[in-house]
Amino acid sequence: DAGVTQSPTHLIKTRGQQVTLRCSPKSGHDTVSWYQQALGQGPQFIFQYYEEEERQRGNFPDRFSGHQFPNYSSELNVNALLLGDSALYLCASSLFEGYTFGSGTRLTVV
């Protein structure tokens, strides 16, 4: 049973560029949440998708957007990248409560 799959694992982008991160949830899970984790910090909630709709959003600017597809997979898009966007981006899937996390995408903005 495959767990949560994220791609790519690592990414280097230049300030001002745009990036798309991808996530396939664990089989049977219908909800996808995205988190940003800076070094030495806990994960920060970006947003949650359920039934292809953004159900809840954290304190992130509109540069952060997402999408969920009919097969429950999800994308996180970040526009106009800033140096401060450098972090580990975690995708977490769930059915009821309690997350299963993917291995994350390490984004470096230079």
Token digits of residue 2: 């495959």
Residue 48 lies near another protein (rule: CB under 8 A): yes
Nearer to another protein, 13 or 106 (CB): 106
- Give the one residue of 23, 25, 26, 33 binding another protein; rule: CB under 8 A: 33
Nearer to another protein, 18 or 56 (CB): 56
Q: Alpha carbon 9 to chain centroid distance?
A: 12
Choices 14-22, 38-46, 70-78, 79-87 (CB under 8 A): range interacting with another protein: 38-46
Size of the site for another protein (CB under 8 A): 22
Could you tell me which of 49, 21, 50 has the C-alpha nearest to residue 36?
21
- Give the one residue of 58, 60, 65, 67 binding another protein; rule: CB under 8 A: 58
CA distance 82 to 46: 16
SS3 content of the chain, % helix, strand, coil (to 5): 5, 50, 45
Token digits of residue 101: 């996390």
SS3 35: strand
Q: Shortest distance, CB of residue 88 to another protein, whole angstroms?
A: 8
Residues at the contact surface with another protein, assessed by CB under 8 A:
33, 35, 40-45, 48, 50, 55-56, 58, 90, 97-104
